[in-house]
Structure 1
Amino acid sequence: MFAYEFENPKFIVSHVKIEHDEKGNGRIWFKKQDFEVDETESIQISAHIMERLEALWGELAYLSDGVRHQSEERDYGHLGTMTLTVNRDGVKRTDSFNWTENSKAKDLTDEYKKISNQFIWVFDMEVARKNQPLEAPRIMKSIDSYIRRDSISDPEQLLPYLRKLQDDERIPLIARNHAGRLVERIEKSRKD
């Protein structure tokens, strides 16, 4: 079992926890500002991203090195605390930090942030589709921004969902057209 957790009560998304197995099956828990309880969703991390995560965990040698990843020189607690946990073959290790100089630990937490961005965005869009369709254009802008900034783990994994949004008459036409443009951009980047 692999786990990533982020906490900062001052952020809009104040708590995120991702747990998954070696095949990418798992769950995400997250709490948004003004929500009383965590939302929980099942997730399936794509094989492509699982390969990247396995490589990052391997490079970090997390179970065997025992190194604390918190920077001794810098403390950025106001930016939130990240916790990485591995539980494999009866051996468990957990380490929390708010800043690290270890580039491999940073890359790993960045990848988990991208995964959380992706799945929380899908949740937000589902809420908009069912309850607040006029929010869909704003939410489409956010995924566009995430994709442009490389802040989504696997844009290709979103293609089926974006195609579904393209044809969903519950959301405004501007959001459906935006979904179509994103599909084209993701498919074009896949060919390049």
Structure 2
Amino acid sequence: MRNLRYTVLFLITILALTGSFFAQTKKRKPGKETPKPTAAVQPTQKETQPDEVSTPKTQGKKNERPADEIIKSNLRPTMKTENPSVYFYEFSQPNFLVSQIFIEHDENGKGKITFLKKDFSEAVSDPIQLSAAILEKLKTLFNTLNFLESVEVYQSAERNYAHLGTMKIKIKKDGRERTSEFNWTENKDAKNLADEYRKISNQYIWMFDIGVARENQPLESPRIMDALDALIKRGEISDTAQMIPFLKELSDDERIPLIARNHATRLIQQIEKVKR
């Protein structure tokens, strides 16, 4: 009886295990389908062309001029805005400290001075701007002489002072040109004209000298200020009033000695006193 009971239990257990096995195999049937492999997908053409990414195309501005147009515009000649020189003055004496002086300027008094000092290997050029008063004085003298039309020889027939230097005065205007050369003249207006240009050269050459001293030899400034004082007292400066702004600049320049700055201040006071 006991053996029969064990036998029945054993059969029941076998049947239960068999049923669960078939149930599990039925649930796993859908898993037998093999999924589509994703590794086999081919990459797109855009991903295999890195050159397009590394060299992107840039679109130009709508208002940008073509390159050939820019080149043509750069090749156009620039228009000259400066007026040509009309009046010319030249002085030469090889044995003088300043052996050569050239002054040229236009109708508005704008021009340049070029001079050669005895110890210099090259000439120096600086721009000049004549004051309205001096420019008017020069034009009056030229008109009085009727310089462009006249054929008068200004050189004295009796006196020759070439050792004091030779002067040349020239006008170049309206397609016409005239040059007069002399070292001594009895013509008062011609003499005054040459004297005025000499005073202009004194003024601008002195400004050059003090400028060099400010930059390189400040201890020379007192001596150069003394030279200006002497020129002013002798009436050898073209327009002292025109120099006031420059002298004020010197009076505040701490690079030069105090004695030179004070001298500049005194000269300003003297010039302003004469103007009154």
Q: TM-score range, shorter-chain basis? A: over 0.9
- Higher mean displacement: 55-64 or 113-122: 55-64
Report the secondary structure of 2:237's partner residue.
Answer: coil
Q: Is 2:203 the counterpart of 1:150?
A: no
The 5 A counterparts of 1:48-63 are 48-63=133-148
Distance, in Å, in 1 between the alignment partners of 2:160 and 2:122 is 29
Give the superposition deviation at 1:185.
Answer: 0.5
Structure 2 letter corresponding to 1:52: K
* Offset at residue 68 of structure 1 (A): 1.2
* Structure 2 counterparts to residues 70-149 of structure 1, below 5 A: 70-149=155-234
Equivalent-residue separation in structure 2 for 1:100 and 1:116 (angstroms): 20
Moved over 6 A (4+): none
Cα-Cα RMSD? 0.5
- Mapped to 1, the partners of 2:143 and 2:214 lie a distance apart of 40
Q: TM-score, normalised by structure 1?
A: 0.98
2:261 equivalent to 1:179: no
| SS of equivalent to 1:63 | coil
Letter in 2 for 1:125: I
Structure-1 residue corresponding to 2:126 = 41
2:100 alignment counterpart: 15
Aligned amino acid, residue 222 of structure 2: P
Name which structure has the greater RCO, CA cutoff 8 Å, separation 6+.
1
Consecutive unaligned residues in structure 1, runs of 5 or more: none
Aligned residue pairs: how many?
191
Query: Residue 69 of structure 1: which of 154, 165, 168 is its match?
Result: 154
Give the whole-Å Cα distance in 1 for the aligned partners of 2:174 and 2:95.
Answer: 36
What CA deviation, in whole Å up to 9, does each residue of 1:21-64 have, x standing for no partner?
11000010001111111100010011110011111111111111
What is aligned with 2:83?
A: none
Q: CA deviation at 1:94?
A: 0.6
Distance in 1, matches of 2:93 and 2:159, equals: 17
AA in 2 matched with 1:31: L
What percent identity do the matched residue pairs reach?
54
What amino acid is aligned across from residue 183 of structure 1 in structure 2? I
For residue 110 of structure 2, what is the aligned residue in structure 1?
Answer: 25
